[in-house]
Every structure is written in C-alpha cells, then in structure tokens.
Chain A
C-alpha cells in the first residue's frame, strides 16, 4: 500500500523498481543484478540504492516482502483461497517446495537476462506491473495488458505453489541474503502448546515449530499476534 500510494500522492518518486523518498533511493536488488548482467557491466547508479536494501535485508530478513511488496500477499491470498475453494483435493507437488527449485528458477532468470540482454523478470514481475500501471493510470489514465499477468500468476499459484514462499525470484534473492538475519522469531518452549497456528498463518510458509525456512521470515508479525499463548518473541539470532 505504501508503494501504491507513493506515486498517487506524489510523495515518492518512482516505483518499487527504484523509489526515492527525499534523499533516500532504494532499488530492487534483483533488478540491479539483472540489468548488470544484461548490459555486461555494473550499473553504477544503482549500487548505493541496492546496497541500502541489501543491508536492510541482511539485518531484518524479508521485510520487503512483509511490509512493502503490494503484490505478493494479495496474490498469495487469492492463491490460497482459490486452492481451498476450487481445488480442495489438490496436493501440491513437492517439486516446488524444494529449495533447489526456486534457486534454479532464480538462476534461470539471471541466465536469461544475460543471454537475452534484457532484465527478463523485471518485465513480468507482478510488483513492477502493478506499480507501472498505477503510475500510468494516474499520469495519463490508461493501463496495460500486462496486468493480465497477475491473474495468470495466481492461476499458476493454484496448481503449482504459493508465490512468495516458493516461486518469486526476488523473494528467493532476499532469502539468500537473509540467511544470517539478526532478528528471528523464537518460540518460548514453556508457553508453546504446539497448536501450529503460527505455521498455518505464516504467509511465507515458515515452520517455526521445526525452525524451518527461518530465512524466509518477512517480519509481518502475524504469528506472534495470533499465537494464543503469546509464546513467540523476536530476538537477536545469537541468543536463540
């Protein structure tokens, strides 16, 4: 919502691909890597804006996914609801739930960018598509056919896997950076009643009970808010 309202209210300059608020400019790290690969050079103007997001991600994990991305949560919600309503019996293949699959997907977009010489994922990125269409709508009253990709991705989600947790290459990039994130959710074993609500509500499919995929944690705080016994705390990693 922050990102969508930025261009509308003219507070921020740009879209999520590169956005400026006053003197601070931020850039999508995946966009930086793709454009650098596509042009066989380091895009100097993006170095500092990328570094800012990278630093934030290393410290806090996938906060971008939890608090800034306007696309992911929405699409994934439709995916989850759609799947439970229309395809109740469907068992998602474990293929996409393996970590290696999403790494390969990310790798493919990077290779494609280098070979085809343009940032391939930037064109289909749902976040980018939403931002650009908001800007074009506000500035000259029209939207593009690329918006159709959004329901297309939701449809893929229904049969393949949740977008944010298992497919999104930007998310994968941020996960890689988050491996050593300093703040993590921790269960107080004394209070925990093993109800698994935290696992069910996590939009990034982090399994807190099994301490699995903690690097995917987006700090959306949903688990700690919904825990019936307030057993979840946010601590520095060293202490856990």
Chain B
C-alpha cells in the first residue's frame, strides 16, 4: 500500500518525466529493497560513498594517465548508478569505460569526467529530495 507521499512522488515523477528519471528513481530502488526504507537509506549512504571514492580514484588515475585504473573505476561505478537509475551519470561512466577499452583518449576521458562532476550535484539533490518525500 502506497503512502500519500509515495503517491505524490510518483505523480511528480510522471509530471517531470524524462528529466526526473534521468536524475534517479528512488521508487524503483524501494521496490528492489522490498519496501524496506531503512535498507533504501543504507543504499543511499553507500551510493554517496561509492561516488566519492569513484571521484577521488578517477581523479588520481587521470593525473597518472592510468587507463587501466580509470577503466576499473568506471566499470565498477556503473552498477551503483544503474541500481539508483541515474541514467545520465550511467551513460557518462559507460562512455568512460568504453573509451578505456577502445580508443584510449585522455582528453576525452577528462572531458567525460568533468561532465560527471558537473552533473552529480543535481543528481544528489534529487536523491535527497526524493528520500525526504518517501
């Protein structure tokens, strides 16, 4: 049974459609958590920790031109991004992973990483807002 807040959130998701879905979809994550909000909250904390580690490690790997390291961190973060349904960030990480495997272009990797850094604050804000409404 949905709470009033969950219904409002669902409605708001439908209204803002693609943009909102690009950010994250905590309703879907809550379903994965079998309705357990405490688990969802734990996943959000772990997600933020994973993102923070990804940013720090990738920054270091870029500084060292370590393509294997960037490939590893980009690949690993994809699971967390997919789990939170953060489509826009997932696409950036997938592109970084692909560049490491195929063309190995550090200018491109740097560009993609900066895109990720620019995009992430709005995703985190959306997650926090959705969490409050659940």
The answer to whether A and B interact is no
Chain B residues packing against A (C-beta within 8 Å): none
